[in-house]
Amino acid sequence: MVPTISLNEFIELYADDVTLIDVREPHEYVEAHVPGAILAPLSELPRHLPTIPHQGTVYVICRSGRRSLSGAEAMAAHGITAVSVDDGTMGWINAGQEVVTGTAAR
């Protein structure tokens, strides 16, 4: 079982240098995502694994927390230290945090 982090804890440590992987589908990502989040859809995750950092901690986010847990587990199985962000992007938005639209990570 991979660790999870509460949204409030993630907001406290969030910074430009945090590696955040968004495992939602592209159309969800384009609508709104956390600034700096890198898109790697769960449905295509095996293809993205080589590009995900294997050093340090990687945070994984989705819409509400379910897919991010699955994604974090898949990453952990490949030697990546992954933590799932509880409440996901919807929680981030509901907390009044900044979001980005479109395809750019930042």
Residue type present at position 54:
H
Mean pLDDT across 20-47: 96
Higher-scoring residue by pLDDT: 1, 37: 37
Task: Count CB neighbours of 75 within 10 A.
Answer: 26
For the stretch 75-96, pLDDT in tens is 999 999 999 999 999 999 999 9
The question of whether 12 is a catalytic residue gets the answer no
For residue 15, the model assigns a pLDDT of: 86
For residue 105, the model assigns a pLDDT of: 67
For residue 106, the model assigns a pLDDT of: 62
Which residues are CB-neighbours of 76 under 8 A, at least 6 positions away? 2, 82
pLDDT exceeds cutoff 90 at 47: yes
Domains in the chain, please, with CATH?
4-94 (3.40.250.10)
Mean pLDDT across 66-83: 97
Catalytic residue among 62, 72, 82, 83: 62
The mean predicted confidence, pLDDT, of the chain is 95
